[in-house]
Structure 1
Amino acid sequence: MPSSIRNSLVWIFDAFERDSTFVQKQMFGCAAAYIDGLLCLIAADRGEPWNGLLVCTSKERHAALIAEMPALRPHPVLGKWLYISQSDPAFEIVVEQMTTLVMTRDERVGVEPKPRKRRGKLALPKT
């Protein structure tokens, strides 16, 4: 799937290309990867604190993922998700580990996306 999203980190999603459920969308001006309808990873290249990999997970799963990959930290803005900066020496190793977890459908990774709110004018009742 060629990317129409300009992002120097979309190579992270190459591992998902053969997965028929993989969808890439734009989120926060970054590239987001969905597998089986779950939002799993966000590749951000907009400058700190949006310059690395965000792992979409619940706070209850943070400890287990950090124990396995100590370079992960709660994101400074979106604390519900974990993050590793592209400048971290462990970045590529963590990317490889995270893409493997996503591909094996590890239950610690992935969140149900919230439905988007409709934009536009509110319909007023007819009188």
Structure 2
Amino acid sequence: MAKEPQELKWIENLLPEGGYRRRGMFGGFGYYVDDKIVLLIFESEGGSRTYKKKTYNFDLWNGCMFPVDHELQEKALQQCPFLVPHPILPKWLYLPLHTENFDDLVEEVITRVFRPNSFWGSIPKPKGKKNSTKKSKSIDDGISVKMDTRRPRMFSDEPAEDVLAKATKISDLKNLGATAEKSFHQAGIKTPKQFFALGWKKTLLKLAAVNKKNLHAIYGYALIGALTNKEFNMITEDEKQQAREFTKAVREAEKAKSKAKPNATVKKKTKKR
């Protein structure tokens, strides 16, 4: 049975909250949006690196896979050359966990996955009757997990100003469900009014202070969308660019700060009396 993700749990925050299903698969989890499987996550640190007598320089089951139909893989690899066909499941493209800049690369791919008319993702072929019994059994055994997709929709189609005026809790807003609301509360943001007053940048910094994994561009998209009553992938390209540049600048500033050497202390000479 698949184990709950730990180190890679944050990647679920990049998916449309309440808009995906999760199912146990190959010891990890597959993530479905509508009819498409768009992502697989595996955690197996120090696992096998060998398949059919060939040894690879990465763990075979420790990272993310991105399904793409075979005829579109070449196009996908042109867009994201850092991906590789998985040695065992070559129809899916793999990003090992210890790839340099793993977090940023995951964000880049998932951003592409949720663009309008995206070719990323794959619709599984329907199984015959022979496999239907087995499928039902796996669901009964708890291997298939349907995420709780319930979230307030009472403001979904209203103008942004009306939504902001009526919202009484964080989860009333577009893109922000129960999980996001919990993170907001941990960051000291209890009400929509506090969120509106802070704006998306200061809010994102507070969320990142609680959990560094919150500092990614797609979370920025979600916050901007919440303030404008738009789905996170439907905000303007300028707004997306602002989110990317802001999160990148903050990460670079943090890296520079961590690398900076402490200033040498200068001893003051005491005057002799």
Aligned partners of 1:31 and 1:42 also within 8 Å: yes
Is residue 2:86 matched to residue 1:75? yes
Runs of 4+ in 1 over 6 A off after TM superposition: none
**Structure 1: distance between partners of 2:115 and 2:25:** 24
Aligned to 2:104: 93
Q: What are the equivalent positions in structure 2 for 1:1-127 lying under 5 Å apart?
A: 5-8=3-6, 9-18=8-17, 20-46=18-44, 47=47, 48-115=59-126, 117=131, 118-119=133-134
Between Structure 1 and Structure 2, the one with more helix by share is 2
SS in 2 for 1:110: coil
Deviation of 1:102 after TM superposition, in Å, equals 2.3
Aligned residue-pair number: 116
Structure 1 residues 33 and 119, CA, compared in 2 at 3 Å: closer, same or farther? Answer: closer
Greater strand share, structure number? 1
Question: Deviation of residue 115 (structure 1)?
Answer: 3.9
Letter in 2 for 1:31: F
For 1:60 and 1:115, the matched residues in 2 are separated by 19
CA shift at 1:91, angstroms? 1.8
**What is the TM-score normalised by the length of structure 2?**
0.39
Larger-gyration structure (1/2): 2
Alignment RMSD (CA, Å): 2.2
Q: Which amino acid is 2:134 matched to?
A: R
Cα 1:81–1:61, aligned 2, differ >3 Å: closer, same or farther?
same
Shift of 1:17: 4.2
Which 10-residue stretch deviates more, 94-103 or 109-118?
Answer: 109-118
Following the alignment from structure 2 to structure 1, what is the Cα–Cα distance between the partners of residues 37 and 71?
A: 17
Greater shift in the superposed pair: 99-108 or 34-43 = 99-108
Q: Distance in 2 between matches of 1:13 and 1:106?
A: 21
Structure 1's unaligned 5+ residue stretches are 121-127
Give the conservation status (yes or no) of the 8 Å contact 2:23–2:30: yes
Q: TM-score, normalised by structure 1?
A: 0.79
Percent of counterpart pairs with the same letter?
A: 28
Residue identity in the other structure for 1:75: H
